Structure 1
Amino acid sequence: MLKDTLIEINKSFIEECKNSPKLTEDLAMMEKYMAESYGKRILVELLQNADDAKSTFVKLIEDKNNLYFANNGNKFSDEDVISISRSGSSSKSKEESIGYRGVGFKSTTYISNDIIIFSDNTYFSFSKKICAEALEMEFDKVPIIRIPFYMKDSSIDRDIKNVVSELKKDGFTTIFIFKKAKLDMIKEEIDILNEGYFIFLSNISQAEFKVKSQSKSFYIIRNYKNSYKKISIKYNNDIVKWLILSENNVDLGFKLNKNKIVPCNQDESVFHCYLPTMDKIGYPLKINSKFDTDPSRKHLTLNEESIKLMKISALNIFQLVKKVFMSEQESKHLGGIVELLLTQISFDKSSMVFSAELKNNFIKNKWILLENKEVISPRKYKLKPDWMEKSEFNLLRNASKNISNQVVPRFVDENILKYEDFIKKYSDSKIDIKDILIELSNIYVVRNMDKILLSKLFGNIFYNMYQERFNNNIYEEIYNCYLPIEESLIRIKELCYENEEIDKYFCKEIFTYITTDILEWIDLKYNLNLKKIITSNYNEEEVANLKPKKETDKLLGNMLNNISISLSSIKWRSAEQICLMLEEQSGYISKDVSKQNLGYDIESKTLDGTKRYLEVKSINNKHEFTITNNEYTAAHLHNKDYYLCLINHSDDKLIVTYIQDPLNNIKFEKRIKQWEWFCDDFDGKNVIINL
């Protein structure tokens, strides 16, 4: 019987403590430290123990300053009493339970010095006052959770017995009573309690909490299907759903909205060791495993075991994303995972370790399926050109089988909305002008092309050729593809002569992008007569006034070119004001946000709607600068949309250097000077402005 065990343990432990008073004092200090360390984690411990005991229903209530936590799980055994009394001696293994150390219950001493436990129809207590009297030691020098004291029914307050009796009627088998508890502290814990506490538990399906007018209730339904598990949690009047995918002793949790995977809130995105820790993952999802944690279970211990489990977690996510890119069915159900991985949202130590493992998987492996069934790594994948809209690119792939074979299958395009943004994290390669020229040398491609797109393609080709006409290196590398260029132009010439309707429409639309000067240069370069063909629908006055609808230096969202600014206009301006002026002169919609401490100074939107985030630095001829931790984090968050704008202002010249995605394109050295990031060697796109 439990009564006999309690009396035997009590006698043995009293004798042990009297023989080792110094050890008893040390235990009291350790208990105090652990209780203070847990802060707002008492409910976590109680839930863990209840789930270990196979409880399906837990309840927390208060009555006359006493706090009651009841569960309907397994009753206390002899081993359980020994485990809870002798910290760390639990026979439970890490593989079998959450609270395998048998130390976490000491956290509850932070809210009460007098704890009564009712289980197997038996009362026993852990009391600092009774312990001090039994050991004849000072009150502050004895622990609470060490010596269990069997309690006769007659010694229990009537009020406590009445509450216990009511809880027994509701089917509860074990009840913890915290006498004269710090109820305000527990109320604070209930305030932050959410569905995340129950997602990775195995047994609890109902939980009710009511303390000092603070009330919350949870109903948990678990539906299992192979390695998939759907968790529905009714929380007060809301229903929250999560998808749990389990593999290799790791659970991945994805929030659902109408059965679609969506990002969870940033405060939900934490590592779990069954219950939530305080360590961020860095991406809006949850990861649960048997991570090693500190005694309070607040933080992961980044030892060999935890890092091993992080590697497994990263590999599991990579394998899921690979399935999404390889399978139409998986892309429909799990395509939302890709969007969760677009932006890292935390940069603490645990999230950085995990993120590095995750990125390593995507960089080193092949996971992108092409239309032609080939599987390639992201470095080999060619993205659509920046200046081409998604709808226009789809028209191009419809007209060209060769282009279509170089990109992902249509099911990826349909089911994963931001797949290109994700691939962009690992690839800079794009379908270029030369690729498009080769396609346009095919009369069948040209004939099947949408007319508006055809004019845009040739407009951009002509524009780019004209812009780079003096750059021999670029011309040789990209445009020195004479046969395709000539054949492309011949095909459009044939098409214009052949079809009068296309002739008129094409001729009209191409001036959205180019001027007659560009046509003259093309004719001279290739001995053609395109200007005459394309302007045949206009009279001489109209030809003289033909100008592109969009200024050519804004067409592709290029950086500033050939800008001239007077010295007086910038003499008294700050570096941020100069950058803002240059952005606006380039036609971008820009605003100064330097006062908001966002990690950048200027927000700028290009003509195609792309946002850019510019951190402005004033530099001198030493070519060195620093960035702060806040700026470093912002650069991580915005990746290729983040720019450094370095402004070197001398008496007669202004040199502005734009560096895109600086963390990946230049080298920084961390120096201990208020944790700034130092760079003394960089290379970017210069804009030299004569003053």
Structure 2
Amino acid sequence: MEQVIKKISNRFLEEAKSSPQLLADMAAMEKYMAESYGERIFIELLQNADDAKSNRITFYSKNGHIFFANDGKPFNEQDIESICRSGASSKKRGESIGYRGIGFKSTTFLTNTIIIHSNNVGFTFSKELCAKKLQISDSNKVPTVRIPLHVEDIEYEIAEEVQKLYKEGYRTIFIFMDARLSVLEEELAAVNDGYFLFLNNIQIIQINISTIYRNFKVLRDHQRVCIQEDGYEKKEWYIVADRQNKSVQLGFKIGEQGQVIACDREEGVFHCYLPTSEFTGFPFKINCDFSTDPSRKHLTWDEKTKRGLKNAAEQLFNTTVVILQEGHESLLHIFSLLEKRQSFSKFSNYMYDNFVHLIKNEKWIPLYNGEKISAIEYKRKPRFLEPSEFRWMREHSSLKHLTPIASLQQNSSLDNFLESFANGMYEIPDWITILSEREFVVKLDQTLLGKLYGQLMKSVRSKMVLNKEVFQLETCYIKNDQSELMLWGSKGIEYAKSFISEFLNSLTDNDIKWINNTYNTSFTKELSFDNNRLNTSSNADSNIFASSLTSIFSSKKKAISISKWRAAEYQCIEFEQMQGNQAKDVSKQNLGYDVHSETKTGEKRYIEVKSISNRNAEVSLTNNEYTAAHQYGDAYYLCIIYQQDDQLLLEYIQNPLKHLKLEKRVKQWEWICDDYIGEKFVLDFNN
């Protein structure tokens, strides 16, 4: 090994003598690299150690010097060549981490003299010694890491420390002489479990420099990685990768109960084996062989990175497929993580768009009937049903055949995730079918039965009046107050109060008159059961057919007046309170919405209020509002308020990003919409 070092040294010395200007250029480049990326010194040493298949590393200071030792593969001739020649490393992308030969040059920010001891042989990189050998008076024109010089004599204290490390099982030792310790403090203080998560080999990390003392242990057990820092709780991660091709890895944090949980926002970053500063946009990590800038902090937008992002999208999609096919209940929470977008950078958007393309176009969701559907073929939950009610109905009726298997598993968040992509809805024939199932209706609670029939009748009336469609209900079952089954339209039925209360709550007076005339029923006399019904007018009732089966409010004119002179936010709050909701003004908190409202059932609504002069005026969204709308989805509403004569009109638009056509205009980066249709509410002014 000694002869190898001398051979390489002599060759590089001759090259330097023949090209002094090139040598000076190298020195300038090294200085730039050290000053620009000197805060990544530990990462460079960590990468090299992991590539050398090290299990242990130690990094400490003593007598003003810094020692870094690993127990991996000792240096050979090829390693020495690689570390000397910038960009000439033999490491291949995707196979090892520290592929750049220039990476080690950042360590020259610590010192001008570095000793490397491996295989019981030492060599040094020294700016001053090289300048002396080359007879160059200005050592600044000589790079530090270029010409290796064999070390014959080492200071006694350093030699003693080297031998101690050899005895402890370390095989390669770096000594940074008279190092600038303060340079490392900020970097070492920021080290976290993410530094070690996607490494292949390192298990024990010891750091003791200046005032920083940190010890980490890494345990890898198949797909689980547990990282324990002394004095802190352990952190566990679940790593997902293709068994044949590990070019892309996903890192999901694991909670105390062994389930996947959201990681902190600052943890949800892209890794190029080690963490970058680019957010994935989701509360989990993505590791791939991306292109990065020399600091390795930022992704570079090029074909390689785009290919990596596309591969990441495919890996994420394949992961969801496996979770559903194999029934991994502990991993089902991944779908809730996919709803929590936290960043909309071009890297995050590109990956997400590719992922969405797959879930929309591939059939990947297994149903109870043995078939598979895409996300857009999923039928969303009707808004008039609570999640528990919807789940019960799917479990106990023929709807189960068309239900995703994972939807009925414990702690599944699949349904919520699919809601924003689903084009399918449960239609009138679906409700007629299950109401014609004897066993289902027998088990069905009277309150839920009333709610289901009320919404069905509202929808049937709308279809029959507007589209002249005809629906036969003769096979549908209903129950009397003794829970005895009878067919819809049977004479002399005494209904349970819980049925009538919920049934009438869904309908207007004109709805009920129409039902009686069409089906020869006698529901009008039952109005006395519902003392809380609001007075309605035939004028307002003319607009009810615009409401779908999933309407949140009944579209009718309220007989309650509202102040003409209050700010739009407070007019919205007053109207929300009329619905029995608890609403408050949060407009000054810069949350992306003005009103936070909660219904009697606990449903949260995030309402952005827009006051316009007339119905044809444009409505715009700021970037902050756009982000909030994206985050909250169906729980986000635009409330557009405008005056018409002596009336105030409030038009609600749920999930505006989904239901509006938005155009981005360069004003102050607002999202503009000049055409909208929402659910209107007309109120009289209180003058």
- TM tier, smaller: 0.7 to 0.9
Q: Which residue of 494, 499, 506 maps to 2:496? A: 506
Matched, 1:20 2:19: yes
Amino acid at match of 2:496: F
- Stretch of structure 1 that moved more, 426-435 or 80-89: 426-435
- Aligned positions of 1:226-237 closer than 5 A: 229-236=223-230, 237=232
Whether 1:628 aligns to 2:622 is: yes
Q: Distance in 2 between matches of 1:545 and 1:504?
A: 12
Distance 1:29 1:561 in 2: 77
Alignment partner of 1:26: what SS?
Answer: helix
Partner in structure 2 of residue 392 of structure 1: 389
User: What are the superposed Cα offsets for residues 514-565 of structure 1, whole Å, 9 maximum, x if unpaired?
Assistant: 2695655532332223456xx5xxxxxxx74632599999996327742467
What TM-score, normalized to structure 1? Answer: 0.86
Tell me the equivalent position of 1:56: 55
Inter-partner Cα distance in structure 1 for 2:201 and 2:279: 25
Shift of 1:331: 3.0
Ranges in structure 1 where 5+ consecutive residues have no aligned partner: 536-542
2:441 maps to what in 1? 446
- 3-state SS of 2:496 partner: helix
- Map 1:129-528; keep pairs closer than 5 Å: 129-135=128-134, 136-153=136-153, 156-224=154-222, 229-236=223-230, 237-247=232-242, 248=245, 249-257=247-255, 258-327=257-326, 330-401=327-398, 403-409=399-405, 412-462=407-457, 464=458, 475-477=465-467, 480-484=469-473, 487-488=475-476, 506-514=496-504, 517=509, 519=512, 521-528=514-521
How far apart in 2 are the matches of 1:659 and 1:488?
A: 34
List per-residue Cα deviations over 1:295-325 (Å, max 9, x = no partner).
2222222322222232222122212212333
Task: Name the residue aligned to 1:685.
Answer: 679
2: CA distance, partners of 1:30 / 1:221? 39
- For 2:634, the equivalent position in structure 1 comes to 640
Relative to structure 1, is the Cα distance of residues 481 and 506 closer, same or farther in structure 2, using a 3 angstrom cutoff? farther
Q: Which amino acid aligns with 2:108?
A: T
- TM-align CA RMSD: 3.3
SS in 2 for 1:41: helix
Output the CA distance in 2 between the equivalents of 1:368 and 1:27: 57
186 and 685 in structure 1: CA distance in 2 versus 1, 3 angstrom threshold = same
Q: Report what 1:107 is aligned to.
A: 106
**Would the alpha carbon gap of residues 63 and 322 (structure 1) be closer, same or farther in structure 2, given more than 3 Å must change?**
same
Q: Deviations over 1:262-319 (max 9, x none)?
A: 2222222222222222222222222222222222222222322222232222122212
Q: Cα offset for 1:361?
A: 0.7
Distance 1:655 1:511, change over 3 A: closer
**Is the Cα contact below 8 Å between 2:69 and 2:173 reproduced in 1?**
yes
Distance in 2, Cα, partners of 1:287 & 1:144 = 36
Task: Read off the aligned partner of 1:522 and give its amino acid letter.
Answer: I
Q: Which residue of 1 aligns with 2:662?
A: 668
**Matched residue, 2:541:** none
* Compared CA separation, residues 607 and 550, structure 1 to 2 (3 A): farther
* Aligned partner of residue 187 in structure 1, secondary structure: helix
Asked whether the 8 Å contact 1:190–1:214 carries over to 2, the reply is: yes
What displacement does 1:45 show? 1.0
CA contact (8 A) 2:339 2:631 kept: no
Does the alignment pair 1:558 with 2:553? yes
Q: Quote how far apart the aligned CAs of 1:357 are.
A: 0.9
Change (3 A) 1:595 1:184: farther
Distance 1:138 1:445, change over 3 A: same
After superposition, give the CA deviation of every residue in 1:149-185 in whole Å (9 maximum; x if it has no partner): 33222xx333333332322221111111223333233
2:579 aligns with 586
The 3-state SS of whatever aligns with 1:40 is helix
Cα pair distance change 1:526/1:54, threshold 3 Å: same
Deviates more, 1:543-552 or 1:208-217: 543-552
State the shift of 1:508 in Å.
Answer: 4.2
Equivalent AA in structure 2 for residue 511 of structure 1 = S
Shift of 1:513: 4.7
Q: Is the 8 A contact 2:240 2:319 kept in 1?
A: no
Q: 1:459 touches 1:510 (CA, 8 Å); kept in 2? A: no
- More deviation, 240-249/201-210: 240-249
**Aligned-pair CA distance for 1:89:** 1.1
The 1:483–1:495 alpha-carbon spacing in structure 2 relative to 1, beyond 3 Å, is farther
Aligned residue pairs: how many? Answer: 661
Q: With structure 2 as the length reference, what TM-score do the two structures score?
A: 0.87
Q: How does 1:530-569 map to 2 (within 5 A)?
A: 530=523, 544=528, 546-548=530-532, 557-558=552-553, 561-563=556-558, 569=563
- Once residues 253 and 477 of structure 2 are traced to their aligned partners in structure 1, the CA distance between those partners, rounded to angstroms, is 53
Q: Aligned pair 1:575/2:568, yes or no?
A: yes
Which range is displaced more, 54-63 or 214-223? 214-223
Deviates more, 1:442-451 or 1:208-217: 442-451
1:4 matched to 2:10: no
Contact 1:557 / 1:606 at 8 angstroms: preserved in 2? Answer: no
Identity of aligned residues (%): 40
Residue by residue over 1:115-162, the C-alpha shift from the partner in whole angstroms, topping out at 9 and shown as x without a partner, is: 222222233222334344444253444322222233222xx3333333
Distance in 1 between the 2:104 and 2:261 partners? 36
Q: Is the 8 A contact 1:513 1:549 kept in 2?
A: no
Q: Which residue of 2 aligns with 1:540?
A: none
Once the two structures are superposed, what CA deviation does each residue of 1:221-279 show, in whole Å capped at 9, x if it has no partner? 2223xxxx222222224332222222133222222233322222222222222222222
1:291 and 1:396 map into 2 onto residues whose CA distance is 47
8 Å CA contact 1:86, 1:146 repeated in 2: yes
- Paired residue for 2:606, among 605, 613, 633? 613
Aligned residues of 2:88 and 2:101 also touching (Cα < 8 A) = yes
Q: Is the 8 A contact 1:599 1:630 kept in 2?
A: yes
Select between 514-523 and 490-499 the one with higher mean Cα deviation. 490-499
SS in 2 for 1:562: coil
CA contact (8 A) 1:557 1:608 kept: no
Q: 1:62 to 1:450 in 2, by over 3 A?
A: same
Cα distance in structure 2, aligned partners of 1:442 and 1:596: 51
Q: In terms of mean alpha carbon deviation, does 647-656 or 519-528 score higher?
A: 647-656
For 1:217 and 1:17, the matched residues in 2 are separated by 42
- Aligned partner of 2:426: which letter? I
Quote the Cα distance in structure 1 between the aligned partners of 2:579 and 2:28.
Answer: 67
